[in-house]
């Protein structure tokens, strides 16, 4: 009887551990970019991204000198790989020019880019009053962007990089008046401008390790038990 009970316990524990692995895998696959206290949390990397509106118009030199108190708040400049990886995950493959997005992917890119810009902070807009800096001298052009400075691969060269993520909502051809498909695009440019360059058209891509607590072992075990029960019920059906 005791031996049978022991086998049952070992079998049940094994099922729970297998279910835990499955649930963790499912949870990991659901990683994404989510709102977090006015900023954005990338659950894939655990990095919190500062909303671009918070540091709009400040140069990198000003930020590094303490302007805005961002460094004291635990923020640091994002690197080339971090900004590129962020856009790659949540917008798509790099397609810096308007014409580089094919008609088949343009709408998909536009939707993803628009969601990204609204979440990260729209600090540049053409004919869009929601932007920190609104350019109105292009009638008929509706375009929203998140763009800012990041830390170059060589921080000693006194030049900073710029990443832009843009959703083009309507873009008439200046020569023919024809309307192009809506597109989304992003581009990373290193050595773009001196570190003393101020906005108003650019902000600063800054990150810090998220303060969101890791799930406890007990809560993970509870989730695993729930998964195990669900799996066993599915097998009986």
Nearest CA-CA partner of 86 in 35, 122, 33: 33
39-42 β-sheet, strand order: 33-36, 39-42, 47-49, 206-209, 76-77
pLDDT band at 103 (very low <50, low <70, confident <90, very high): low
pLDDT of residue 209: 94
pLDDT of residue 24: 33
Residue 68 lies in a domain: no
Quick one: pLDDT at residue 168? 85
Q: How confident is the model at residue 177 (pLDDT cuts 50, 70, 90)?
A: low
Within a domain: 223: no
With respect to residue 115, please indicate whether it lies within any of the assigned structural domains.
yes
Pair of tokens at residue 235? 């097998």
Domain containing 129 equals 79-202
Q: What percent of the chain has pLDDT over 90?
A: 48
Q: How far is CA 165 from the centre of its chain?
A: 11
CA 188 – CA 30 distance, rounded (Å): 26
Higher pLDDT, 124 or 3: 124
Q: Is residue 193 part of a domain?
A: yes
Tens of pLDDT, residue by residue over 126-163, are: 988 899 999 987 777 788 999 999 998 776 777 899 99
Bridge partners, residue 151, by sequence = 79
- Does a structural domain hold residue 180? yes
* Residue 92 region by backbone torsions, left for phi larger than 0, else alpha for psi between -120 and 50, else beta: left
219 versus 138: the higher-pLDDT residue is: 138
Residue 232 lies in a domain: no
pLDDT of 223 over the 50 cut = no
Domain count along the chain: 1
- On whether residue 166 sits in a domain, the answer given is yes
Sign of CA dihedral 125, 131, 133, 138: positive
Instruction: Name the residue with higher pLDDT: 62 or 218.
Output: 62
């Amino acid at each position: 009887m005791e031996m049978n009970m022991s086998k049952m316990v070992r079998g049940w524990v094994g099922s729970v551990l297998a279910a835990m692995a499955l649930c963790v895998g499912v949870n990991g696959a659901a990683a994404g970019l989510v709102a977090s206290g006015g900023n954005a949390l990338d659950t894939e990397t655990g990095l919190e991204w500062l909303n671009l509106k918070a540091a709009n118009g400040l140069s990198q030199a000003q930020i590094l000198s303490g302007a805005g108190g961002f460094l004291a708040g635990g923020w640091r400049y994002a690197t080339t790989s971090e900004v590129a990886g962020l856009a790659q995950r949540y917008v798509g493959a790099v397609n810096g020019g308007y014409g580089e997005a094919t008609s088949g992917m343009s709408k998909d890119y536009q939707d993803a880019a628009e969601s990204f810009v609204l979440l990260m902070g729209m600090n540049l807009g053409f004919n869009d009053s929601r932007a920190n800096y609104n350019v109105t001298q292009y009638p008929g052009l509706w375009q929203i962007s998140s763009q800012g400075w990041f830390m170059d691969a060589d921080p000693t060269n006194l030049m900073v990089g710029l990443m832009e993520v843009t959703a083009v909502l309507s873009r008439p051809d200046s020569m023919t008046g024809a309307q192009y498909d809506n597109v989304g695009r992003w581009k990373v440019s290193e050595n773009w401008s001196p570190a003393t360059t101020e906005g108003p058209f650019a902000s600063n891509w800054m990150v810090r390790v998220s303060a969101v607590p890791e799930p406890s072992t007990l809560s993970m075990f509870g989730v695993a038990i729930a998964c195990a029960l669900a799996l066993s019920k599915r097998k009986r059906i």
